[in-house]
Amino acid sequence: MRLFRNIGARGDARKIFMNMYARYSEPHRKYHTAEHILFCLDTFKRVRHLAKNPDAVEAALLFHDFEYSTLPDARNEKKSAVLFKQFADEMMLSDEFIWLVCAYILASMRHESANNDTRLFIDCDLAILGTDPEEFDEYERKIREEFSHVPEKIFCLKRREILERFLDQTGRPHIFLTEAFRNKYEERARSNLARSIAALKKSPSINDGKI
């Protein structure tokens, strides 16, 4: 793989990819699969030239959902960063590179950063919000499948809270952190989110008087 050559990785790349394939093929994953990772990488290709450390951003996108659980307090980002560091140590990567990638991965906990490369990484992860309505709706369906163990009413309330935070211009003037992504995705993302929030508000479970 080009990335592994670029960063001077050593060791058994095939073993790493087999482990990665197994992780992203876990049965509880519906959206956070290899397809999502490939989407992020493909999105990054178009803005790669804007990154100061593009290989670090690419590595972060590759590993950022390595650990994924839908259980409360799962700490997916922290665990993904730890797992990346384990692989990075095996591949004998530089401490600086490892630090950068882990910092990018951990930034996805809050989707905020003042660093341009981190912002590009976050925007690639969020680009699905600004896709066409059909693709966005499929994304929402897959997220619901991943949380199928959560009662409908609770899911609708919590999901609505998450989506509304992206539209709260008091705390977040824009959904996307870079101009390139705002120009391409912002308008459609706001439309998609508003439509999804409206649907969640109208869910029969919200007004059924049950928990």
- Report residue 157 as tokens: 């309330």
What pLDDT shows up at residue 111? 83
Segment 29-83, tens digit of pLDDT: 999 999 999 999 999 999 999 999 999 999 999 999 999 999 988 899 999 999 9
- The candidate with the shortest Cα–Cα distance to 125, out of 28, 29, 36, 26, is 36
Q: Are 59 and 7 in contact (CB under 8 A)?
A: yes
Q: What is the pLDDT of residue 114?
A: 82
Q: How far apart are the C-alpha atoms of 197 and 157, rounded to whole Å? A: 10
Q: In this model, does residue 210 exceed pLDDT 60? A: no
- Amino acid (one-letter) located at 30: K
Band (15; pLDDT cuts 50, 70, 90): confident
Quick: pLDDT tens for 139-197. Answer: 999 999 999 999 999 999 999 999 999 998 777 789 999 999 999 999 999 999 999 99
Exposed / middle / buried, residue 198 (Cβ in 10 Å: 0-12, 13-18, 19+)? exposed
Please report which confidence band the pLDDT of residue 209 belongs to, taking 50, 70 and 90 as the band edges. Answer: low
The model carries a pTM of 0.92
pLDDT at 207 over 70: no
CA distance 37 to 59: 11
**For 115, which DSSP code?**
S
Q: Tens digit of pLDDT for each residue in 87-138?
A: 898 888 999 999 999 999 999 988 888 899 999 999 999 999 999 999 999 9
Read off the tokens for 4: 């592994």
CA contacts within 13 A on the Cβ side of 138:
9
Backbone φ and ψ for 49, nearest 5 degrees, come out as -65, -15
* Residue-level pLDDT at 206: 65
CA distances to 48, 117, 133, 177 from 180, in Å: 11, 13, 20, 9
